Amino acid sequence: MSEHEHSQRPIEIRLKSPGYLSFSRRVILGVLGTALAGGVGAVLSALLYTDGMRRLMLAYLVAVAFVLSISLGSLFFILIQHLTRAGWAVLIRRPAEVFALNVITVGLLAMPIVVFAFSGTASIYPWARGLQGDAAVVEQSTEHTRLQPNPTVRMVSTQIDSSSGADKESERARSHGEGSLGAEQPHSGNDAKEDLQSHLYAHQTFDELTASKTPWLNPTFFSLRLILYFGIWSGMSWFYFSASRNQDEVGGSEDTLRMERRSPPLALVFALTLTFAAFDLLMSLNPHWYSTIFGVYYFAGCAVGGFATSLLVWLVLSRIGKMPAKLSEAHFRDLGRLLFAFIFFWGYIAFSQYMLLWYANIPETTGWWAVRGASLADGYRSSWGYVLVLLLLGHFIVPFLGIMSRHVKDNQRAMIGWTIFILAMHYVDLYWLVMPEFRPWIAFGLPEIGSLMLVGGLYLIGATYIATQTALVPVGDPRIAPSAALKDMY
């Protein structure tokens, strides 16, 4: 058989026996302990903090969206490698396959979100709140929205007001003293915060507008969709993982061709499921708001997270001698270039989304931004604006300029630092998408850190388990020798 002759060809990679990953018990226990400590901290915070359960669930959603983005970014990496028949990345694709398959762990970790969607008024999703016989809430807001179809209108123009809001308005004017033009000074104290909340967080009451979206946004359909998404992602990842591992044993090009043939339709399925999952998990936190580019925005973050993780895993594991193959510096450089490109892509998409909504200046689309600190109007400034500026600098401008130079991409120690920094900023990105829904000033503490430790720790345990089930390089792929000999163009 010619296929067997292929696999018999000597591979110019020195494999330590047998090229499987192993960690000492201490490391594994350390990660488990971190997860456990995080879990304890998270549960404690839910009991101790005001509105602790809601905050914990939002923080938990951030952590799950973060690890999900790493898995989806890795899946995307595998898909484009096969779509473009890229030989250069054969040697480095296995960690991406491991992290992609780890979407199964994310699926298990996402279960509390699904369960919590059924908890009625306690749910973090406003669309899930009206369905537990809370008729008073629905009725009251129905009256409100009849008078004024878009509740967020009040956010921008305080002149226009409905009868239901008039009392509050005059009260606000009174509380800030006569002579101050419509309470222009930034408010202080709880009063101001409540005031701001009632303006910015109108979307959190289950009103007519939200009710009209319940055919799509209801707990049952939501959970079914999530099961579908995770099922599809797990199936795709399992296909690529098992085909690649099968090739380790039988060799030949059959599996490579199979993976390539399926990649175009799977890429389409991937794009659709990722987009809708971003809509469901993150965008529906504000059911009044919509942005058609939101799925692409989350995807850009996924790509950044996935590439940064692949690069970090290779850099760190090569450094501590866990990797069986030695990468040429061209591999690191090319991965760094991909990461660089998608950092710019993220900035491009993030700015596109912002600019179009800002320019159109329609209240129903700017409300989401005002909650996230983008408004400089008096009374609407909030500390979330600092996070927004941090994102602009830390997720775009600083890493863009920082890893632009080839000399930085060649410096492996520097790239370890940069990938960790970029992953941290990617977390901040998702944090900024979700947490402003909790309150109009920064909330970062035990719930956020605890749930990140819990989810991140369990995610790493899952990834480590999957990684021990396979060799760390696809030794059976016929293109592995040319990939190992990869050289740069210049």
Partner 1 sequence: MSNSPPPSPMDTGSITYADYEVIGTGSPYALVAEFDSVAEVMRAAEKVRDAGYLLWDVHSPIPIHHINHAMGMRPTILPWITLAHGLAGLLFGLVLTWWMNATTVPGLSASVQGYQFLISGKPMYSLPANIPIIFETTVLFAAFGTILGLLGLNKLPMLYNPLSRSRRMLRSTVDRFLVVIEAEDKNFELPGTARLLQSLQPRAVELINEER
Residues in touch with partner 1 (CB under 8 A): 351, 354-355, 358-359, 361, 487-490
Q: Residue 181 or 489: which CB sits closer to partner 1?
A: 489
Angstrom distance (rounded) from CA 55 to CA 344 = 32
Q: Residue 36 or 398: which CB sits closer to partner 1?
A: 398
- Least distance to partner 1, CB of residue 359, Å: 6
Distant-in-sequence, close-in-space partners of 83: CB < 8 Å, separation ≥ 6? 260, 263, 264, 267
The pair of structure tokens assigned to 248 is 């380790």
Q: Are 52 and 45 in contact (CB under 8 A)?
A: yes
Within 13 A of 438's CA, how many CA atoms are on the CB side? 27
- Least distance to partner 1, CB of residue 215, Å: 34
Q: Are 195 and 187 in contact (CB under 8 A)?
A: yes
Q: Residue 424 or 485: which CB sits closer to partner 1?
A: 485
- Least distance to partner 1, CB of residue 294, Å: 19
| Secondary structure class of 19 (helix, strand, coil) | coil
Query: Could you give phi then psi for residue 102, rounded to 5 degrees?
Result: -65, 0
- Least distance to partner 1, CB of residue 335, Å: 19
- Least distance to partner 1, CB of residue 352, Å: 9
Closest Cα to residue 458, out of 36, 74, 93? 36
Q: For tokens 């199964």, what's the residue?
A: 104
| Secondary structure class of 20 (helix, strand, coil) | strand
Let me know if 416 is exposed, middle or buried by CB neighbors in 10 A (0-12, 13-18, 19+). middle
| Secondary structure class of 471 (helix, strand, coil) | strand
Angstrom distance (rounded) from CA 314 to CA 323 = 8
Query: Could you give phi then psi for residue 198, rounded to 5 degrees?
Result: -65, -30
Rounded to a whole number of angstroms, the CA Rg of the chain reads: 25
Q: Residue 18 or 359: which CB sits closer to partner 1?
A: 359
- Least distance to partner 1, CB of residue 186, Å: 20
Closest Cα to residue 223, out of 325, 107, 121? 107
Q: Residue 163 or 405: which CB sits closer to partner 1?
A: 405
Q: Residue 135 or 489: which CB sits closer to partner 1?
A: 489
Closest Cα to residue 142, out of 48, 202, 208? 208
Q: Residue 270 or 340: which CB sits closer to partner 1?
A: 340
Q: Residue 24 or 157: which CB sits closer to partner 1?
A: 157
- Supply the DSSP symbol for 394: I
Q: Residue 1 or 489: which CB sits closer to partner 1?
A: 489
- Least distance to partner 1, CB of residue 408, Å: 13
Q: Are 460 and 401 in contact (CB under 8 A)?
A: no
- Least distance to partner 1, CB of residue 99, Å: 31
Q: Residue 136 or 489: which CB sits closer to partner 1?
A: 489
- Least distance to partner 1, CB of residue 9, Å: 21
- Least distance to partner 1, CB of residue 207, Å: 27
| Degrees to nearest 5, angle at CA 46 with 429 and 37 | 80
Let me know if 483 is exposed, middle or buried by CB neighbors in 10 A (0-12, 13-18, 19+). buried
